[in-house]
Amino acid sequence: MTLNVLITGSNGQLATCIKDLERQHPNLSFIYTNSSQLDLTNQEAINLFFETNKIDWCINCAAYTAVDKAETDTEKAFKVNEQGPKHLALACNNHNVKLIHVSTDFVFDGSKSSPYNEEDQTKPLGVYGTSKLQGELAIKDVMNAFFIVRTSWLYSEHGNNFMKTMLRLAQTNKELNIVADQVGTPTYAKDLAGALLRIITSNSNKYGVYHYSNEGVTSWYDFAKAIFDISEIEIKVNPIPSKEFPTPAKRPSYSVLDKQKIKENLNIETLYWRERLKTAIKNLY
C-alpha cells in the first residue's frame, strides 16, 4: 500500500534532502509544498488542501529559521513557527493524518552540562526558540498522533548552512575568527531526513517528543576546523569567545541532545558527526 506524505517547506534543505532519499522509498508518494502553494498561516487554505488531497502523513519542514532576524521580525516568526504548526495539527486531526514536526535545540537555554533529554525543562533564550516551543505546545494541545523531533546544527549540500558558509568564506579569506565557547552536535540533514522517513515506514505509534542529531560533541570553532581539514583547505582559524562576536539573538552555550529515546523506541541509529561531514563534503564536489 502506498502512503501519501505531505512535505511542507519544500524549498528548504531538509525537504530537499527528503527528495534525495525518495528512490529508497517506493511505497511512499510525496506531495511537496512551499509557502506560496500552501500558506500555513491560513487555516482555510490548509483545510481545503487536506480536503482535496489524500494525505496519510505530514512532515512539517517549514519554519522561520532566521535566528537573529526573528528578534525584530517577531510577528512573522510566531506566525510561521507557532500558528503554522497549530493549523497543520488541526487539519491533521480532522483528516486522521499523522504529523511529524521538526523542532530545535533552541528550546533550551544551554545552561546544562550534560545532554538534554526530552523531559528537561525548556527555557528558550530568544524569539526563534520561543516561537518554536510555542509551535510544539500548540501541536500537543490539538492532537495525540504526532512526533516532534528536535534537532541541532543542521547542514547539508543544500540551502544555507554553516558548512557551506565556511567553504564560501574560505575562498576570499586567509583567516577566520570562529566562536569556540558554544558546543553542540552538527547534524547532517540527510541523516535527519532518513530518520523522519523511518518513523513513517516503521508505522510506529510511539508518539511524542524525540531528540535526533548525529553523535559527538564539538564547538563551532572545531566544526569549522573539521570542514577545512576534510576539504584540504589551508586557512587560519582563530577561536574566539561569544562576547567577541555579539549577535542580536543569544545562543545556547551547550546544546547537545540525548538520543537514547529515539534509539530505543524507534530503533533509529545515530552516526558520528565527523564521519557524516566527510560524506556531505564528498557529495558537494
Tell me the residue type at 29. Answer: S
Task: Indicate if the alpha-carbon torsion angle 244, 247, 248, 252 is positive or negative.
Answer: negative
- HSE (side-chain half, CA atoms, 13 Å) at 93: 13
Catalytic residue among 32, 64, 116, 128: 128
Residues 6+ apart with CB under 8 A from 116: 105, 108, 211, 255, 256, 257, 258
C-alpha distance from residue 280 to each of 49, 56, 156, 230 (Å):
35, 31, 6, 10
Instruction: Write out the three cell numbers for 264.
Output: 530505543
Radius of gyration over every alpha carbon of the chain, rounded to an integer in angstroms: 19
Instruction: Write out the three cell numbers for 137.
Output: 505546545
Can you name the residues that pair with 60 across neighbouring β-strands? Answer: 8, 101
Helices (H), 161-272: 162-169, 189-202, 220-231, 260-266
Check if the beta carbon of residue 156 is closer than 8 Å to that of residue 141: no
Place of cell 491560513: 42
Pick the closest to residue 55 from 19, 11, 99, 23 (CA basis). Answer: 99
Tell me which H or E stretch contains 218.
Answer: strand 218-219
The secondary structure of residue 18, as a DSSP letter, is H
Tell me the residue type at 174. Answer: K
Place of cell 523506541: 265
- Catalytic residue at 128? yes
> Which sequence positions are flagged as catalytic?
128
